[in-house]
Structure 1
Amino acid sequence: MAAAPVKKPNDSSLPSSFNDDIQKQKYINKKQSHAGNEAWWMNGAFVIIVHIVSLLSFLTYTADRKTWVMTFVICQLAMFGITVGYHRLWSHRAYEAELPLRVVLGLLGTLGFQGSIKWWVLRHRLHHRWTDTEHDPYSAAKGFWFSHMGWIFKRPHYPRMKLVDASDLNADPVVRFQHKYYVLLALSCGLGIPTMVASLWGDALGGFLYGGILSRTIIWHSTFCINSFAHWAGEQLYSNEVSARGNLLLAMMTHGEGYHNFHHEFPKDFRNGYRLCDWDPSKWIIFTLHKLTNQVPNVSRVPENEVRKAMVNMEIIKAQEKSKKYDWGIDPSSLPVITYEQYKQKQEQEGKEWILVDEYVLDVSSFKDDHPGGAKILKNYYGKDSTKAFHGGLNDHSKAANTMTAMFRVAKIEKSQKEE
């Protein structure tokens, strides 16, 4: 459903007393904000009714075993229509599909009762472009409930929708046809066909209640989990710039869509489960059609090098976060700067147990007795430059030893001062 057009500042609805341009704009912004919080009663009522009927059907009606099987099959087909069709094909153009396959995917996606391809795709592209912001249709930043279902009950107001490219959707005859006749197609495929099929074994009512209504609720929540759970719990192996995460349980519930962190970082890749062990049936279907048929001429993969770089970047970020838990010594920029002569005088006149390594003055008084080479070695370098001895002249110290020296820093000697 398209958002209501925003009225311009010269709208006749503006009070005549609004002569100041700034005040006019504030008034318009307030109206827009109110419109964004307006309840979407018709949409909300439909969703609530479907949930109530689904629950009552499950509790009060015993469907035929064949009806249960049909309902399961419908759920799987509809989910693949969303994941393989609506999402990876039309939303992200992660692969190319010939007309027969697009027709099939369009019909399967219609079973999902989630709006037309065009309606669904435009909002999903908006979600990716402004993830976690006020322009995200189901922003996780607004809370778990809102991202899961709450957005359904708010009348849509997307001022940046005009920035989303729809040219490819408008050029696709399958998308145009499905969008034009969506309501008729959804009612026929989602309610009529399950009822007629189940009537073949004498359970037309069960076909309507289970294959038509209950399956809608299951499919909805499976998809909604990607907007909520996939932005709430799981791993961030490829990026932490947005809330998207990934986990195996969600992937198993959504035919591979659960690896959401990879998907948000590399949305055009036909895989959501990038790793070989990742559960991603949607990826397997696309790849099989690509290899064994002419229906998928091309698939898109992000270069391996880019994926590896993203993973390394996250490892670095996690290491940096972990490093904050430990004491790494005084920040070098906060150390007092002294001359080399001052350093020597401190030792000679005040008896400071100081040594010099790499321009840093180290107070080793608390460490001398624990020095692996003994305190005597350290005493030999009090008031002297022990840099060469530290770095191989006497002993080529380990990385841990280098790190430990930062704990003993008390001053810094500029290189030019030292040389003087």
Structure 2
Amino acid sequence: MTETGKTTEKRRVLDVAAGAGYRVEAAPGLVTEPRLLAEALGRVLKLGRDSERRVAVVTDSNVGPLYAGRVAAALEGLAHGAHAGTITIPAGEPSKTPAVLVRVLEDLAALRLTRSDAVIALGGGVVGDLAGLAAALYMRGIECLQIPTSLLAMVDSSVGGKTAVDLEAGKNLMGVFSQPVGVLVDPEVLKTLPVREVSCGWGEIIKYAGIDEAVRPLVRRELLGGSGEAGVPLPGLDLICAAIDVKRRIVAADEKESGCRKLLNYGHTVGHAVETASRYRLSHGAAVGIGMHVLMKALDAAGALEPGMLGELEALLAAAGLPVGIPAALHDDPALDFSPEALLALARHDKKSAADGVSLIIPTAPGRAEIRRVSWRTLEDMIRRGL
């Protein structure tokens, strides 16, 4: 780990210097082993026999049956009545809406949570974003502990304090920055994920390889190392923590995304447009992969990339089970529009956009990228060349 991270056997602790400051704890069994889970919940949420704090668990219909009961039992074991209740939303991006957000807020009120109580976001990126926003809004803000159960949420969305829901115009347009009180990462839960979700998480990890020279060789080794095992691999704890380390360092330097934090949006401007155009039939990670590929293909065609960079991205995406372009089944669907004009219109709703253009993350060398302001005409040209 870096100098501000601490390492013990099979356990990593990374400090995030944002908001009031908090820790990401990562270890096998942190969620799946009752003793470790109880210890972590007590430590982070300050729960004990004399505590009167109550905690609501927000989860979804996929994750809830697997882990919500364990979390509830751990809370009750720490203090009687500590588990205020479990709120379950339907799994998937369609739940990430203002209407579902309001329903969760009403449920928190029905559970009679106070300003001294807390929320646990137990799930993937949708749950983490929505529950984090609900906690930030409820009574003007209560604590939220993130327990990510998807690969994407572990390496990206659970850290950094971005909370949001989608509007019809685009992704994540309604939200606030609100840092969690802590993040608990257990790689053992990844074993229950379907392949599609593992691939989705790899999309964000490959993004880190594009912006950080230290992460790139780790990603190449795990995806292209030729272990001989068939299928999409699960990343090891070292790679998961390396990705988190990149994000927590960038977030510490730029919490509200006024500068270098924009680097974390590599592939996202076009990727969010593609994801929305697909009506969320593409996973977020797949859309980000396509967004990165569109940019690299356009830059390669213009002679602005070092030799081999486009080929490496394509090899990484393929090894992760991700498409390099719009899948034919979606591209040929007459109900969907992936034209450059349609994607540009969606990109104009990007949070980083302005009247004259958008901040785009441009790869400049293997493992390096820069923030560059481009006009809408330039972006449209890049989309057209890169599709």
Between structures 1 and 2, the one with greater strand share = 2
TM over 0.5: no
Highest CA radius of gyration, 1 or 2? 1
TM-score bin, normalised by smaller chain: under 0.3
Give the TM-score, by structure 2 length. 0.27
